[in-house]
Each structure stands twice: as structure tokens, then as C-alpha cells.
Amino acid sequence: MRHFHYKDGEMYAEDVALRDIAAKVGTPVYVYSTATFQRHFTVFANAFKDRTTLIAYSVKANSNLAVLATLAKLGAGADVVSQGELVRALTAGIPASKIVFSGVGKTEPEMRAALEAGIRVFNVESLPELERLSDVALSMGTRAPVAFRVNPDVSAGGHEKISTGKAENKFGIAWSSVQSAYARAAALKGIEIVGVDMHIGSQIDSLAPFEVAIEKVGALISDLRKKGHTITSFDIGGGLGIPYGDNSKTPPPPSEYGALVKKLTADMDVELIFEPGRMIAGNSGVLLSEVVYAKSGEDREFLIIDAAMNDLIRPALYEAYHEIEPVRAPGRNFKTQRYDVVGPICESGDTFTKRRELPQMAAGDLLVLHSTGAYGAAQSSQYNTRPLVPEVLVSGDRFAVVRERPKLEEILRAESIPDWV
């Protein structure tokens, strides 16, 4: 459920008219709904309320401090993949004891910062990383709590660029090497084995891949314990998809996912750790944009909007679908037109959709791209020296700018011209 709806012919975020946000903040702008974040987190948490569980929100999905603070108040932990995300999570009030550190390329400074903070666990993805982490921990006079991210070689469908659980993906320890990896970890003085981790992909629309992977890793946990390893946690990762409004399969709800996971892990005696990101953030935000021109091409009609691929790269990167609606509801007997909705950047890839049937629109009209709360602002850039898109958080009838649009002089201030030029 998302709290973006029409009222009196205008689209609102909760009880705030999007037109009012556009007038005050300008466009393009990301608009987030507090109520939607709260509802999605609570629905997921309730699916596991009778089990010992840590819900470590995947910070990479949407790392805005206001979003993290909102989730922290609900009891969320954090899944981070960089020192910057670690600092964000701590700044937003998420306790270090609820933070897991993932990622294939952790550096020594990142390891040191995480150990100093006292995070919950490192999800280790290679033996070289394990060796380096042990050395860093010993130099600090401590031990690093670890879970190996194991690659169960399970295909979960979806776009190839968001698949993470197959043998050819860069993530995790190869299934054939898991036993030797845990044996090596047990021999290192700077390492404390605490669990097992997996993450098979993103935008998964079926429970079947989860079932196969959980059963496979469950058998591994049993075998590791027989070999003397202490396994107290099972990190099942994230990956549960969301509806984007296209004709793809609707993902199962968290209640069904929770029932499956609880059934499969009932006899494992482990704390469950989850890393949901998209499921919590995706439908909690929209990208609000203005039509700059309506242009007739040789064989098609274009809507050129002021948002671009630097603001929302998912369609260009993943061929991702986003539902598009006008801010002003179309009246009775309205006419439609098939549009290519594009941005102003001089690349053909700066296209949000092709031949999409929409109400006829004109320059100055406002529209929204739905389901952009995850991997929207977090992946944005300043390509073409376009300032980073601002972010707004709505709560009831109030809203606040939670990331300002930088001024051009602020962007240029970070650069310098050498004295020999």
C-alpha cells in the first residue's frame, strides 16, 4: 500500500498536495511518505513477531537520514555496505549492535571503523577478506564476529544485473568452498564465527527460490554444527519484490513469505536476520516532475520532462518499469496519447518509457513516476552538472525538505583549477 492518491482531482502524498510541494521546492523532486515506510516495515516485522529476528534495513535502497531515523524509531537495524552507510546508520540512531556489514570489497579503514563501533556481524564474502579482517581485529586487540555469505547457486529470476545468488555472480563464497572457508575461519585468532548469510537476488516474485535456498543452507548449518562451529544466526538477506504497476507477476506478501521462512527454519534454533530494502522503501516514494515540452516526432510523440536519467537511472540501467500518472486527475472523457517519456540529457538512454498510453499532457503539467523510493535518489548523480534532486518527507499534513537541491556554486566549490593551468 502506498499513501499517494487523488483527492479533489489532485494527487496527494498523505494529506499534502504534490502541487504545493512542486511550488515550494521545485521539480524534479523525490517525495516520500512516512506512513508508507511505517506500514511496510510493520507488516514485515509482524510476519516474524513470534521469532527472534533482526530486520536490518538495506541502507543502499534509500539512505536519506530522515528515512533511516524514521525506521530506527520502529526498531530497525541496518545492512550497510560502506563506511559512509555505517556513519549514516549510526547518525540516524540505529545502534551498532543492530548493524550488519555486507559487501565484497571491504577496506581496512572500513573494517576498523566497524569494529570500533561494535557492529553486530560482518558478512564475509571471500577468504582474502577473512584474512584481512582477522589481521585488523588482532591489531585492535579484538575479534571480529563473522558470518560467511554463502552462494547457494539458486537462480531467482529477475534482471541479470540484480541477480546475486548464482554461481557466476561475484557475491559470496562458492558452495564447493564453504566447508573449507569455515575451517579456515575457526583457525584464525581474530575471527569469531557466529552465523551464515545468504542473499539470492532482488525483486524476486516467487517463494520457490527462497524455499530451495533456505533448505540448502539449513542443511549446511546442521553440517557446520556437527563439525563444531557455533552458528547462532541465519541471515536470509532481502530480495522480496514489490508491485511496480506493470504486467509482471505480483510478488507474494510478507505474510506468506514469513510463513514459509518460519516453517523451513522451525528446527534450526537460530536468530533470523533479514535485509529488506526495496520492499520497505520502493512504494514509499515518487519522483515528481514537470513536462518541459510536448514534442511531435516523425513517428511518435514525446513528453520531455525535467527529470532525467541522472535523477532516476533504473529505466536506463535495468529497463525498469515505473507507473506514470498526471498530478491533476484526468477529467471525464479525457483523450489519451502514446508517449515516449524522456529527459533532457543528450543520450538516447535518457528514456523513462516508450509508447506508454497516458492522458494527453502539455508543457507545465506535473506528473509522478511511482515506486521510486528505492534506488532512486540513492543512485542519482550530478551528470551534466545537474544538481542532485532534492528529497521531501511527508507526515500527515506536514512536509520537510530532507535533502536540499545544491546550488551550482556549491557544486563547483568542490573542484579546483591547478596553478599550472
| Omega cis (within 30) before 28 | yes
- Please confirm, yes or no, whether 373 is among the known catalytic residues: no
Measured at the CA of 357, the angle between CA 352 and CA 359, to 5 degrees, comes to 105
- Of 240, 251, 315, which is closest to residue 281 (Cα–Cα)? 240
Q: Which of the following is catalytic: 346, 362, 417, 421?
A: 346
Query: Which residues are registered as beta bridge partners of 393?
Result: 32, 400
Return phi, psi of residue 74, to 5°.
-90, -5
CA distance 307 to 141: 50
CA distance 138 to 84: 24
Cβ–Cβ < 8 Å for 344, 292: yes
CA distance 240 to 274: 10
- Of 334, 332, 337, 412, which is closest to residue 324 (Cα–Cα)? 337
Cβ–Cβ < 8 Å for 337, 365: no
Burial 307-324 (b: 16+ CB within 10 A, else e): bbbbbbbbbbebebbbbb
List active site positions.
346
